[in-house]
Chain A
Amino acid sequence: SQELEQSPQSLIVQEGKNLTINCTSSKTLYGLYWYKQKYGEGLIFLMMLQKGGEEKSHEKITAKLDEKKQQSSLHITASQPSHAGIYLCGADMNRDDKIIFGKGTRLHILP
């Protein structure tokens, strides 16, 4: 079974609309990472959350960590075509140096 589940797997959103992507862990989270991957390219770091209740924002992207629920959400406000891509969450579950990644959420933005 997948240790890190992302939902939805795929998302199609009209430009200008808001959207939320979720990442749920089967284990305690010691660190949660969000990355974006454009099709055919490498991963780009967005932000990292370490403490329960922590919330970070970068431009129109906000991520929150709910430590009790072992869950993180990524929210995009007023989506733009540049937001299209694959969003992956990664987690440190064992307090080691490894990041376990979810399978990603494919985001498409309709003009």
Chain B
Amino acid sequence: DAGVIQSPRHEVTEMGQEVTLRCKPISGHDYLFWYRQTMMRGLELLIYFNNNVPIDDSGMPEDRFSAKMPNASFSTLKIQPSEPRDSAVYFCASSFWDRGGDEQFFGPGTRLTVL
């Protein structure tokens, strides 16, 4: 398996533009998580899905952020309009729950810079 795939790996955009980050989870995994990592705040959970359904979006900072999971193999995180303070590395992770635990497998991340 190729692991969790994220695209793009790097994104540079100007303030006010729409940004869409993409994630393909590991096949067979039923959980998908979106995280944001900054030096100041560390790794923060934004939203997670179970079987394509959003379960908890309490970490989404503002209405400018939205996430969708139209099917089991694809999810998007959209920021509209983007602001400089959104600059961070965004990670997608997926997992499959079983009795042994629920290790999350992380993608390589998307480094977003908003100018």
| Residues of chain A having any CB pair with chain B under 8 Å | 31, 33, 35, 40-45, 48, 50, 88, 96-104
Known contacts A31-B101, A50-B101; A101/B106 CB under 8 A:
no
Overall SS of chain B's interface: strand
Pairwise interchain contact B106-A43, C-beta atoms closer than 8 A? yes
Interface check B103, CB cutoff 8 A: yes
Q: Nearest Cβ in chain A — how far from B95, in angstroms?
A: 8
Q: Nearest Cβ in chain A — how far from B42, in angstroms?
A: 4
B contact residues, total (Cβ < 8 Å): 23
Known contacts A42-B108, A103-B42; A97/B103 CB under 8 A:
no
Query: Which residue of chain A has its CB nearest to the CB of B50?
Result: A97
Pairwise interchain contact A98-B31, C-beta atoms closer than 8 A? no
Interface check B34, CB cutoff 8 A: no
Pairwise interchain contact B97-A97, C-beta atoms closer than 8 A? yes
Pairwise interchain contact A97-B102, C-beta atoms closer than 8 A? yes
User: Among the interface residues A31, A43, A102, A103, which one has the most CB atoms of the partner chain B within 10 A?
Assistant: A43
